[in-house]
Amino acid sequence: MLKALPIEKKKEYVADVYCTCEVICLLIITTQSHGHSGLPKRHAPLFILGDSVFEAGNNNYFNTTARANYKPYGETYFKYPTGRFSDGRQIPDFIAQYAKLPLIPPYLQPDLHDFSYGVNFASAGSGALDGTRQGSMEIMALNNLVSGDKP
């Protein structure tokens, strides 16, 4: 199916699939924390992968032009810029609240050692493919995250 499409349509298709996978992964992870078994209730950590839609501030910690650490970002809910590409909370923040978890911190936040509630790997400009934004700015590539490399 993809062979017959022009390159721009292929990019749109891959982006749509990527966004859909982000949401599905979040829903699968969070619904596990609301099981109805007779076992003691425990929380499931929330691990977030994505781009600027899910970004929680990772881009504040490395050299890139894709940042949201200035006004008006964050003014409504946080009262200061947090690195989220929105005026307030984003989808992962609401999912964490629903799952009775604290706000999930960015992976690159200094002195972050506790992943028991999860961590946010999302980075504005990133993508599932290594060629995403290649050469235009430094980003957190999925391939680097899997290998444990930080930008």
Contact 88, 79 (CB under 8 A): no
pLDDT in tens, 1-43: 445 656 565 555 555 555 555 555 555 454 444 444 444 467 7
Instruction: Please check the confidence at residue 87 and state whether its pLDDT lies above 90.
Output: no
Contact 101, 46 (CB under 8 A): yes
Portion of the chain with pLDDT greater than 70, in percent: 56
Domain residue limits, the chain? 2-30+43-147
pLDDT given for residue 31 in this prediction: 47
pLDDT given for residue 118 in this prediction: 92
Instruction: Please check the confidence at residue 135 and state whether its pLDDT lies above 60.
Output: no
